[in-house]
Amino acid sequence: MRALGKPRDAVALAEEVATKAETLAWPRMIAESQLELGLSYQAANANAEGERAHARAVLQADASHADEIRFAAMIGLAVAGMNHSRYDDAGRAIESARMVARRLPPDDRREVILDLNESILAFWRGDYDVCISRARQTLAKIATVLGPNAVEGALLGERLSHCLYKADRISESEAAQRDALAIADVATGREHPLAADILFGLGYTALARGAQEEALAQFRESLAIRERVLGPDNPIVGVSLTGIGDLLAGLGRYPEAKDTLLRARAILESSWGADSPALASAERMLGELAMDLSDYEAAEVHFRRALDIYRMKRPKGHDELSYSLANLGRALLAQGDRGALTVLEEAADSYAASPSVRSDNAAMARFHLGRALVKFESRARGIAFIREACPVLEASKEKSKLSLECRAYLANLGIH
């Protein structure tokens, strides 16, 4: 059922089997049934339930000396750690799985699974260069060991594309997504959560090219698949809605955008909790919508909520944390609050310490910092930041509106 993209059916079967296994009091059977239950929950994005099932699988595997099951369950716990933004826990789980693998006969497939999860962990940590190099090496292994159309190749290709996107390598990101989709079309078909994930990523690369309507079509196709196979209240549906809401705001369709983002926020908070990074994304996008509507106080509230979550869940220097700082600074600056200067300096410093992140996002932070410096502290220093930012923003199709704002700001200062 999971392979067919029917995780809800998989959960129903796995729950029944796990209940029956408990009545047998046979540790190995309990371990195996809990492993299947954990994998099924994770496929359905029920992350907390999946983690509990995998933890029980590990204990029962230990009781029955079932190292194959323990290996798979530790990988499940690594995925749980990544899903819950506990990256050190995820790293320890991967290392534990690697130690278990040493007790088992050599198996290239297990090595591929370990490498795949280490690549994905690098993405979540924000180590994009490490992610790119390691993922490409692992993709070559997958093609050799598991075959050119193995579903693992589509899964890792989709993650690789995100790393390339975050590293400002948009054309390579889109190529990786299309390669992943070609594999998924063979391995799973389109009516599958993985295909929906890839289509969602293609929407973002289309948006980076300035193709807004194409992006909206990709987002909506992804959403439709997710609603059909996962259900309308699944948290990953909320993730789709955040992307659509943000894009609708960019198209000036503000009432539709707000309704979409509020639905996304309700789904995400109900499913993944008030400290979910996905919820932070919805709050950030609501803040950006409020900025577009000149409701700066509301924008500040949304941006602070997002920042609080990112400070808890993302390591220092992570691009999502930096971007959130820049947005909060922008809202404070719009209200004439001198505190904007401190926040924007932190954002610019954070971007400067992470040179592999998208240059247009870093330039956005420098532009707003420059404006704050002109207003509150040093006209000359502020203008220097703005002069540096404008050409980078002009080169970004996604930041075209901000690039016009950047040039207009300089013109208002009498600088051409």
* SS3 state of residue 209: coil
Residue 181, token pair as written in the block: 């989709």
Residues 130 and 40 in one domain: no
Residues 14 and 97 in one domain: yes
The CATH number linked to 144 is: 1.25.40.10
Whether residue 143 is contained in a domain is answered as: yes
Query: Which of 173, 208, 230 is the last residue before a domain boundary?
Result: 230
Residues 100 and 143 in one domain: no
Residues 51 and 146 in one domain: no
Q: What was the pLDDT predicted at 400?
A: 80
Q: What was the pLDDT predicted at 367?
A: 95
Q: What was the pLDDT predicted at 399?
A: 82
Domain span holding position 187? 119-230
Whether residue 251 is contained in a domain is answered as: no
Residues 31 and 134 in one domain: no
What is the sign of the dihedral through the CA atoms of 83, 88, 89 and 90? Answer: positive
Residues 89 and 155 in one domain: no
Residues 97 and 139 in one domain: no
Q: What was the pLDDT predicted at 310?
A: 95
d(CA 287, CA 291): 6
Residues 218 and 159 in one domain: yes
Residues 132 and 187 in one domain: yes
The CATH number linked to 354 is: 1.25.40
* Total count of domains within the chain: 3
Question: Identity (one letter) of the amino acid at 110?
Answer: R
Residues 359 and 400 in one domain: yes
What is the sign of the dihedral through the CA atoms of 149, 150, 155 and 159? Answer: negative
Whether residue 296 is contained in a domain is answered as: no
Residues 67 and 132 in one domain: no
Whether residue 300 is contained in a domain is answered as: no
Residue 4, token pair as written in the block: 């067919």
* DSSP H or E run through 359: helix 359-376
User: Could you tell me the pTM of the whole model?
Assistant: 0.86
What is the sign of the dihedral through the CA atoms of 357, 360, 365 and 369? Answer: positive
Residues 151 and 226 in one domain: yes
Give the residue from 196, 162, 167, 170 showing the smallest Cα distance to 181: 196
Q: What was the pLDDT predicted at 356?
A: 66
Q: Would you give the distance in Å from CA 295 to the centre of its chain?
A: 27
Q: What was the pLDDT predicted at 355?
A: 65
| Full DSSP string of 18-74 | HHHHHHHT-HHHHHHHHHHHHHHHHHTT-HHHHHHHHHHHHHHHHHTT-HHHHHHHH
Whether residue 321 is contained in a domain is answered as: yes
Whether residue 387 is contained in a domain is answered as: yes
Whether residue 292 is contained in a domain is answered as: no
Per-residue pLDDT of the chain (416 residues; tens, 9 = 90+): 999 999 999 999 999 999 999 999 999 999 999 999 999 999 999 999 999 999 999 999 999 999 999 999 999 999 999 999 999 999 999 999 999 999 999 999 999 999 999 999 999 998 999 999 999 999 999 999 999 999 999 999 999 999 999 888 999 999 999 999 999 999 999 999 999 999 999 999 999 998 999 999 999 999 999 999 999 999 999 999 999 999 999 999 999 999 999 999 999 999 999 999 999 999 999 999 999 999 999 999 999 999 999 999 998 888 899 999 999 999 999 999 999 999 999 999 988 887 667 788 999 999 999 999 999 999 999 999 999 999 999 988 778 889 899 999 999 988 87
Query: Which of 81, 106, 131 is the last residue before a domain boundary?
Result: 106
Query: Which of 230, 249, 267 is the last residue before a domain boundary?
Result: 230
* SS3 state of residue 260: helix
Assess contact for 39 and 45: CB atoms under 8 A: no
